[in-house]
Structure 1
């Protein structure tokens, strides 16, 4: 019998679900827009077995992919495991074999050298495949219709790095997927790869370079000419792993860098520009773009670390107030002869994370952004525990052209998961469409799927789709039009 620890990561709303299911025509309120035809895929960490070491962090759960197929005014639900090598080996053994988050020293001897991916961070559609992603390993491919696992993607051996990002970008000018991989040369190495994948799934470029130091490089931006990579000191080392410490820890004494990696073949370390600024925390990226010689990079910046489970390396206690991130623009100038930032501009005083844009405009200046907001001035009743640490209780839309801000609050006993933009039509203007996102109903341990008019979120969801099971807190997800993946009604 599986006995999960009675700790916050495994109890209340965070209790492991472990449910594979098919449910046709979910009950809903409101009107599902008749023009929506496609699928929203998202992923949640969901441990198959109790942790090998007795407790664990939420980020180490096995990947469970959810698909909401929206068509003809209805929503069909399918949920399947991402059956990584880790999942398969543990499933055969009947118990956990892999230990702490990104620490192979804690694994059972019989799985030494195996790919440790949980495929639990992003669910992404590209080249007719569903990519289940974890940034410490290659991406896992799945069939987007059956959702059966196909295997790890190494591009026929053309990919020589060990890792592939969980936050790829699509350059809609050429259809390429732009990606990177950190610790590409091995555990805790400062080796990074920049990659581009053609629309047919062929790896057409892999460029190796060195980062200023090893750290978590969870996200990045692209422009027409550059991969734009921020280096923030959530650092790790073999020594930390040997001591049994969390893989990452935050170092407030180290500088932050913004790197410009040219998007072309033959790039060397000498071709890369690294701009330097004072310490801060930043994880997810809204967008990046070029204006003349200047590069604009928009992220959610906090004064200090947002991840209490990756503690301060100097022993300072976690500071929730300093962890509140706000939309911020970083500007650097390629014509400059020094490495300093040109500007750091606060774009909103709203505390927000999980930023999203209309992805058709990635790499170009965008007007609209959607975020999960942390509004601690509103009533909060965390029955069953918070679904993901910091309470994300509002959907937030920012019009960067007019400055207008709008909000929608999910109520005192609910919390929200990452929003995803769905264009109204392939040629619709930027931002014209819908927002889809999961909502955690903490009071009765279940979930809803919410659909909003993207430019009028304050009026609330146009449709609320009731899911008769509980979705654990998910990380990232994406939309795919039904005709691009062969998914029909």
Structure 2
């Protein structure tokens, strides 16, 4: 009998679900636009078995991917496990064999050397495949129509690094997928690969470089000519793993770096410009773009660590107030002779994370951005359902051109998951489309899928789609039109 821990990672909205399902024509209120034709994919960590070590962090659960297929004014649901090597080995054994998050020293000896990926961080359709991503291994690929698992993508052996990002970007000019792989030569190493994958799925570029220090490199930005990578001291080491400490810990004494890496063949270490600033925490990236010789990089920044499960390396307690993040623009000038930032400018007084844009403007000057807002000024009766434990109770739209913001509150007994933008058509103006996101109904332990007019979120959802099973906290998801999926 499975006995899961009674900790926050395994109770309430985060109680393991472990359900594969097919449900046609979900019940909904409001109107699903007839012209909306495609599917929203999202992934949640959902442990198949109780943790091997008795407890675990929520980020270590197996990947469970949900697909919401919109067509003819209705929405169909399909949910499947991402059948990684880990999932298959443990399924055959009937128990957990892999131990702590990114610590192979805690695994059963029978799985030594096997991919530890849970494929639980992002669900992304590209080149006719569904990519189930976790940044500590190659990406798992699946059939986006049937959601059957193919296996790990090594591009016919052309990929020489060991890892592939969970946050790829699509260059809107070329259609290429741009990716990195950190710890590319092995766990806790400072080697990184920069890769580009053609629209047909061929690895057309893999370049190696080194970073100032090993850390979690969860996200990055691109511009027309550069990959822009922030190095923030959520650091790890073999020494930490041998002591049984969490893989990552935050070091408030270390500087932050921004690397501007040319997107070209034959990359040399000396081609990279590294800029340096004082300590802060930043993880996700809203966007980056070039302005002459200047690079602008927009990221939610907080004074201190946002992840309580990756504690301070010096033993300081988690500081919730200092963990609040605010969208901030980092600007560096490639025409300068030094390594200092030109400016660091907070763009809003709204605390928020999980930033998203109209992805057709990735790497380009852009106007609109959406994110999850943390508004403690509103009534809160129940908490839960967020990735880091912080309250995420509003959807926020930022107009960078006018400075105007819109906010929509989900109420005192609900919380929200990451938004995703859906363009109305391939050539629609920026921001013309819809926002889709999961809403956690904390009181009832169930989930809704919400659909908004993207540029008028304050009027509330145009459709509320009731999901008859509970969705745990999810990390990331993306929309794909029907012709990209084969539906």
Distance 2:377 2:203 in 1: 48
Distance 1:162 1:484 in 2: 28
Deviations 1:131-180 (A, max 9, x none): 00000000000000000000000000000000000000000101100000
**Could you say which residue in structure 1 is the equivalent of 2:382?**
382
**Could you say which residue in structure 2 is the equivalent of 1:156?**
156
Q: TM-score, normalised by structure 1?
A: 0.99
Deviations 1:218-246 (A, max 9, x none): 00000011000000000000000000000
Distance 2:222 2:189 in 1: 23
Do the aligned partners of residues 479 and 386 (structure 1) sit closer, same or farther apart at CA in structure 2, a change above 3 Å counting?
closer
Q: Residues 125 and 484 of structure 2 are in contact (CA less than 8 Å); yes or no, is this contact kept in structure 1?
A: no
Distance 1:311 1:178 in 2: 31
**Could you say which residue in structure 1 is the equivalent of 2:407?**
407
Unmatched runs of 5 consecutive residues or more in structure 2: none
**Could you say which residue in structure 2 is the equivalent of 1:310?**
310
Query: Aligned with 1:478: secondary structure?
Result: strand
Q: Residues 287 and 298 of structure 2 are in contact (CA less than 8 Å); yes or no, is this contact kept in structure 1?
A: yes
Structure 1 residue 486: deviation in Å? 1.2
Distance 1:428 1:403 in 2: 22
Q: Does 1:189 align with 2:189?
A: yes
Distance 2:375 2:93 in 1: 44
Structure 1 residue 196: deviation in Å? 0.3
**Could you say which residue in structure 1 is the equivalent of 2:441?**
441
Q: Residues 118 and 134 of structure 1 are in contact (CA less than 8 Å); yes or no, is this contact kept in structure 2?
A: yes
Query: Aligned with 1:411: secondary structure?
Result: coil
Distance 1:379 1:252 in 2: 32
Query: Aligned with 1:9: secondary structure?
Result: helix
Distance 2:381 2:198 in 1: 47
Distance 2:141 2:365 in 1: 31
Query: Aligned with 2:131: secondary structure?
Result: strand
Distance 1:440 1:290 in 2: 37
Distance 1:387 1:117 in 2: 22
Q: Residues 65 and 81 of structure 1 are in contact (CA less than 8 Å); yes or no, is this contact kept in structure 2?
A: yes
What is the correspondence of 1:14-413 to structure 2 with a 5 Å cutoff? 14-382=14-382, 385-388=384-387, 389-413=389-413
Query: Aligned with 2:92: secondary structure?
Result: helix
Q: Residues 286 and 298 of structure 1 are in contact (CA less than 8 Å); yes or no, is this contact kept in structure 2?
A: yes
Distance 1:418 1:12 in 2: 19
Structure 1 residue 181: deviation in Å? 0.5
Structure 1 residue 484: deviation in Å? 1.7
Q: Residues 385 and 416 of structure 2 are in contact (CA less than 8 Å); yes or no, is this contact kept in structure 1?
A: no
Q: Residues 43 and 63 of structure 1 are in contact (CA less than 8 Å); yes or no, is this contact kept in structure 2?
A: yes
Query: Aligned with 1:90: secondary structure?
Result: helix
Deviations 1:371-405 (A, max 9, x none): 0000001111226x444311110000000000000
**Could you say which residue in structure 1 is the equivalent of 2:431?**
431
Deviations 1:393-430 (A, max 9, x none): 00000000000000000000100000000001110001
Distance 2:174 2:253 in 1: 41
Distance 1:57 1:118 in 2: 13
Distance 2:199 2:385 in 1: 39
Structure 1 residue 29: deviation in Å? 0.2
Deviations 1:254-285 (A, max 9, x none): 00000011000101111100000000000000
Distance 1:85 1:441 in 2: 33
Deviations 1:184-239 (A, max 9, x none): 00010000000000000000000000000000000000001100000000000000
Report how many residues are paired. Answer: 486
Q: Residues 352 and 371 of structure 2 are in contact (CA less than 8 Å); yes or no, is this contact kept in structure 1?
A: yes
Q: Residues 22 and 79 of structure 2 are in contact (CA less than 8 Å); yes or no, is this contact kept in structure 1?
A: yes
Q: Residues 90 and 96 of structure 2 are in contact (CA less than 8 Å); yes or no, is this contact kept in structure 1?
A: yes
Q: TM-score, normalised by structure 2?
A: 0.99
Structure 1 residue 12: deviation in Å? 1.2
Query: Aligned with 2:458: secondary structure?
Result: helix
Distance 2:405 2:224 in 1: 29
Query: Aligned with 1:92: secondary structure?
Result: helix
> Over aligned residues, Cα RMSD in angstroms?
0.6
Structure 1 residue 37: deviation in Å? 0.4
Q: Does 1:452 align with 2:461?
A: no
Deviations 1:27-69 (A, max 9, x none): 0000001110000000000000000000000000000000000
Distance 1:15 1:263 in 2: 43
Query: Aligned with 1:285: secondary structure?
Result: coil
* 4+ long deviations beyond 2 Å: 385-388
Q: Residues 14 and 387 of structure 1 are in contact (CA less than 8 Å); yes or no, is this contact kept in structure 2?
A: no
**Could you say which residue in structure 2 is the equivalent of 1:461?**
461
**Could you say which residue in structure 2 is the equivalent of 1:421?**
421
Query: Aligned with 2:90: secondary structure?
Result: helix
Deviations 1:74-112 (A, max 9, x none): 000000000000000000000000000000000000000
Distance 1:35 1:426 in 2: 12
